[in-house]
Chain A
Amino acid sequence: MSGGTPYGGRQATLEALKIDQPAAIVGQVAAARARGRFRFRLVFAATWAILIGGLVFSLAAAGRIDSAFLGVWAPYILGGIPITIFVSIFSIAFAIVLATLGALGRISRHPVIYAVASLYVSLVRGTPLIAQILFVYLALPQLIPASSDVPVIWLGIFALAFNYGAYMTEIFRAGIEAIPRGQLEAAQALAMRDRLIMRRIVLPQAVRIVIPAIGNEFIAMIKDSALVSIITVQELLWRAQRVGQSNFRTLETLLLAALVYWMLTLVFSIVQARLETRMAESDVRL
């Protein structure tokens, strides 16, 4: 018997649409979508190529770039890249630790812990990062003389981590609070202690929510790492500024530094996109 549609049933519909093999339609639709995606990416890449090409051409045509100068100094300036990456990675790692502690503190029921965490977030978000970096370099040795022996790169990493930890605390807290309350109640009904619930139920799911945010923060951190140049860490921007300013060629050196920061951001953006796809695998409709 034919199905219940008004137009004569399933068989009649397939004949009308000239579909020979019903199962093949899945493949045909997938192929059509893939073609569409490919065309989109092709035009996207072509537009970028034209825009970037136009930018490069207009800079070169203005004739103000001294490429011989860059040839001599590029190895030294680019030598700052490992330091920039080192600072960024360690800062974000410590910031994640601080943010986790801060988030747990912000949802705590103990007033002292809650107060300390809230003060941390409020104070650090309320003062400029550049002031915090200068503080650990200039003011901290006056309070704790031993801190003047700490290599400046670790002072910079500490200041960056301390600052980003405060911002990420709120992100982590939002991730933890996004776990449905029903899960917590169910876990409590099963007589799980609070700490166990946090460790086995809440945090694993919260991680999936906050990873895109961490990726964003890391990409921002790559540029903010340039601020440690003010406390003498000889990373990429420091080198570009010193070389450029001594030789009246800040245009060339700063362009080079900007290009490198952009490349680093692109690479880590792609990594983040892949990570997000991987995290969202459970959401894909099959």
Chain B
Amino acid sequence: MRPRALVVGLAAALLFAGCSAGASEAPPDLLKVVTDAGKLRVSTDPQYPPQSELKPDGSYEGFDIDVANAIAEGLGVEIEFSTPSWDTITAGSWGGRWDLSVGSMTITVPREEVLVFSSAYYFTPAQMAASTASGITTIDGLAGETICVGEATTYLDWLNGTLDVVSETPMTDPPEGAEAVTQTTDRLCAENWKAGRTDWAGWLSSSSTVQDAIDDGLPLVAVGDPVYTEPLAAAADKGGPDPTALIARVTEIIDGMHGDGSLSALSEEWFGVDLTMTAGG
């Protein structure tokens, strides 16, 4: 008798605990959470130099890392990095595991449904590339070909014709009939060519990533002018505590960094060019 009563009682207790936990109050404000904890938890994806990469001692370095450090300094708190996968970050519903994403995320309309963006801290051109094996040298030459992109990136959206970037930037049309194929991260597309495979003819990624691959001697060439330029910003989750105040503070800090030239200096340091000014025309 007793064991059965125990099991039933335990099950009932778990059910009630579950219900009441679901109905509990969410903390009112993300900025308050951060300042109370004295710590800003930032997400980063350390397989994307020069924005973010690992050092041999296990710490992170890169343009995004430096910007995140500056934001934490501006807020007067410590910083802590965590490394979820890119598609988890862009999907929202972070479960309160980190507070802010400083990961060169493009401001798009679909993403704005689940995330709140700060003002753009820099702009990056999207560069098309083709393998030397394919012999393609113009963007039109990629018509009807397979083009590889990273998962959950704006490059995929652009190829599918569904890119809805918030700010007005000039955009060319994707090559006719080009088919998109994804890898978990942009660089794997190029590594496919390095391995001697020819599963796709084209690769679309940020200009700095493409240049990195060329500098590393991978068998590819940049093709044509950048097809569009995208604004990149910090983001916070709408699904957690209210992020409006935090994003407002972050925007203030970023605008301050634009004004005093520190963002341009960082951009020069990591990219060799100043990408923080809006693309002209």
Contact = CB atoms under 8 A, between A and B. Distances in A.
B187 A248 contact: yes
Contacts of A250: 188, 191
Interface stretch (A72-80, A174-182, A210-218): A72-80
B97 A148 contact: yes
A188 to B, nearest CB: 19
B161 interface: no
A234 B46 CA distance: 12
B95 A242 contact: no
Contacts of B85: 230, 232
A137 B8 CA distance: 28
B172 interface: no
A234 B134 CA distance: 38
A232 B86 CA distance: 11
A143 B11 CA distance: 16
Given A76-B57, A76-B58, A245-B185, A141 B95 contact: yes
B190 A248 contact: yes
Contact of B54 (A110, A230, A242): A242
Interface size class of A (residues with CB under 8 A): 35 or more
A73 B56 contact: yes
Interface string A143-154: 111111100100
Nearest to A238: B83
A145 B216 contact: no
A140 B194 CA distance: 40
A242 B47 contact: yes
Contact of B96 (A75, A148, A230): A148
B21 A112 contact: no
B82 A232 contact: yes
Interface in B171-219: 185, 187-188, 190-191, 194-195, 213, 216, 218
Contact of A143 (B22, B57, B188): B22
Interface string B82-125: 11110010000101110000000000000000000000000000
A79 B56 CA distance: 11
B4 A110 contact: yes
A243 interface: yes
8 contacts: A76-B58, A142-B95, A149-B96, A152-B97, A232-B82, A232-B83, A243-B54, A248-B187
Interface of B: 3-4, 7-8, 11, 18, 21-22, 24, 26, 46-49, 53-54, 56-58, 82-85, 88, 93, 95-97, 185, 187-188, 190-191, 194-195, 213, 216, 218
